[in-house]
Amino acid sequence: MTSTIQGEMFIGGAAIKGAGNATYAVAAATGEKLEPAFGTATKDDLERACTLAGEAFDPYRQLPDAQRAAFLEAIAQAIVDLGAELIERAHAETALPIARLEGERGRTVGQLKLFATLVREGRWHGAIVDPAQPQRAPLPRADLRLRRIGLGPVAVFGASNFPLAFSVAGGDTASALAAGCPVIVKAHPAHLGTSELVGRAIQRAARETGMPEGVFSLLIGEGIWLGEALVAHPEIQAVGFTGSRQGGLALLRIAQARPEPIPVYAEMSSINPVVLLPEALAARGEQIARDFADSVALGVGQFCTNPGIVLALEGAALDAFCATAAQAIAAKQAATMLTPGIHAAYCRGVSHLSALEGVSELAHGVATSGAHDAVPTLLRTEARAFLAQAAMEEEIFGPSSLIVACRDIGELRAVLRRMSGQLTATVQLDEGDYEQARTLLPTLERKAGRVLFNGFPTGVEVCHAMVHGGPFPATSDTRTTSVGATAIDRFLRPVCYQSVPDTLLPEALKHGNPLAIWRLVDGELTRD
Ligand code: NAP
Per-residue pLDDT for 3 more than 90? no
Closest atom of ligand 1 relative to the 474 alpha carbon: 41
pLDDT level of residue 223 (50, 70, 90 thresholds): confident
Gap from CA of 456 to ligand 1 centroid (Å):
25
Q: List domains and CATH numbers for the chain.
A: 9-121+132-268+480-490 (3.40.605.10), 273-453 (3.40.309.10)
Name which of 48-52, 224-228, 367-371 the model is least confident about.
367-371
Q: What pLDDT, on the 0 to 100 scale, is given for residue 176?
A: 98
- Which phi and psi angles does 397 have, rounded to 5°? -80, 105
Catalytic residue status for 435: no
114-141 pLDDT, tens digit each: 999 999 999 999 999 999 999 999 999 9
Q: What pLDDT, on the 0 to 100 scale, is given for residue 135?
A: 97
List of residues 6+ apart from 417 with CB closer than 8 A: 443
**Strands 335-336 and 273-276, sheet pairing:** unpaired
Q: What pLDDT, on the 0 to 100 scale, is given for residue 1?
A: 58
* Rounded-to-integer distance, Cα 158 and Cα 164, Å: 9
Partner residues linked to 128 by β-bridges: 146, 520
Q: Average the pLDDT over 39-45 and give the result.
A: 97
Give, using CA atoms, the residue closest to atom 30 of ligand 1. 244
54-69 pLDDT, tens digit each: 999 999 999 999 999 9
Per-residue pLDDT for 42 more than 80? yes
pLDDT, averaged across the chain: 97
Q: What pLDDT, on the 0 to 100 scale, is given for residue 446?
A: 97
Gap from CA of 224 to ligand 1 centroid (Å):
10
CB 457 within 8 A of CB 295: yes
> What is the share, in percent, of the chain residues with pLDDT greater than 70?
100
DSSP label of 375 = P
Per-residue pLDDT for 2 more than 90? no
- Which phi and psi angles does 443 have, rounded to 5°? -70, -45
pLDDT level of residue 192 (50, 70, 90 thresholds): very high
Q: Average the pLDDT over 307-313 and give the result.
A: 98
The catalytic position among 8, 93, 235, 267 is 267
Gap from CA of 71 to ligand 1 centroid (Å):
29
Q: Average the pLDDT over 449-457 and give the result.
A: 97
List of residues 6+ apart from 373 with CB closer than 8 A: 334, 335, 336, 337, 343, 367
How far apart, in Å, are the Cα atoms of 200 and each of 44, 78, 169, 175?
Answer: 21, 9, 11, 19
Strand order in the sheet with 144-150: 492-498, 144-150, 128-130, 519-521, 524-526
Closest atom of ligand 1 relative to the 254 alpha carbon: 19
Catalytic residue status for 304: yes
How far apart, in Å, are the Cα atoms of 255 and each of 69, 187, 410, 490, 517?
Answer: 30, 19, 41, 15, 35
Give, using CA atoms, the residue closest to atom 43 of ligand 1. 243
Per-residue pLDDT for 476 more than 90? yes
> What is the share, in percent, of the chain residues with pLDDT greater than 90?
98
Question: Which residue among 244, 270, 350, 420 is best mutated to probe the pocket of ligand 1, counting the most ligand atoms within 8 A of its Cβ?
Answer: 244
Does an H or E element contain 172, and which? helix 171-178
Q: What is the 3-state secondary structure (H, E, C) of 324-348?
A: HHHHHHHCCECEECCCHHHHHHHHH
Q: Average the pLDDT over 395-420 and give the result.
A: 97
Gap from CA of 243 to ligand 1 centroid (Å):
4
Gap from CA of 40 to ligand 1 centroid (Å):
18
484-523 pLDDT, tens digit each: 999 999 999 999 999 999 999 999 999 999 999 999 999 9
pLDDT level of residue 200 (50, 70, 90 thresholds): very high
CB 203 within 8 A of CB 184: no
Q: Average the pLDDT over 190-219 and give the result.
A: 98
Ligand 1 site: residues with CB under 6 angstroms? Answer: 157, 159-161, 186, 188-189, 221, 224, 227-228, 242-244, 247, 250-251, 267-270, 304, 342, 345, 395, 397
* Rounded-to-integer distance, Cα 368 and Cα 352, Å: 22
Q: Average the pLDDT over 89-107 and give the result.
A: 97
Question: Which residue among 93, 94, 160 is best mutated to probe the pocket of ligand 1, counting the most ligand atoms within 8 A of its Cβ?
Answer: 160
Per-residue pLDDT for 221 more than 80? yes
